[in-house]
């Protein structure tokens, strides 16, 4: 999917979201440095899958995102939590 198509889709989604009465909950940050965890995750998403494909449909993007998220949570070690996967961390916490 071309960037302009994705942007159009996101704008349309946001308009429907607001139209249905959902309130936007913004964090207090105004700089990426104040929201480091989200910015780091966004960078990882862009580098590992979003920037690697041109999507033809939203469904295709959702499928690739779902597959990547499963890999991220179950197969990809995270050095921030001791070199284990998020799924392993969750099991240890239970």
What local confidence, expressed as pLDDT, does residue 1 receive? 46
What local confidence, expressed as pLDDT, does residue 49 receive? 87
What local confidence, expressed as pLDDT, does residue 22 receive? 58
Task: Give the CA angle between residues 1, 65, 28 to the nearest 5°.
Answer: 95
Rounded to whole angstroms, the Cα distance separating 49 from 61 reads 10
How far CA 52 is from CA of 44, 48, 49, 76, in Å, comes to 12, 7, 5, 18
Cβ-contact 53, 47 below 8 angstroms: no
Q: Does the pLDDT of residue 71 top 60, yes or no? A: yes
Q: What is the pTM of this model?
A: 0.59
What confidence tens digit (pLDDT) does each residue in 28-65 have?
656 666 788 888 888 888 898 888 888 898 899 999 99
């Amino acid at each position: 999917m071309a960037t302009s198509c994705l942007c159009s889709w996101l704008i349309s989604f946001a308009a429907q979201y607001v139209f249905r009465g959902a309130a936007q909950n913004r964090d207090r940050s105004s700089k990426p440095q104040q929201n480091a965890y989200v910015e780091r995750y966004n960078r990882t998403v862009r580098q590992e899958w979003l920037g690697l494909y041109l999507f033809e449909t939203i469904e295709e993007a959702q499928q690739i995102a779902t597959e990547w998220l499963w890999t991220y949570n179950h197969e990809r070690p995270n050095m921030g939590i001791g070199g284990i996967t998020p799924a392993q961390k969750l099991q240890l916490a239970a």
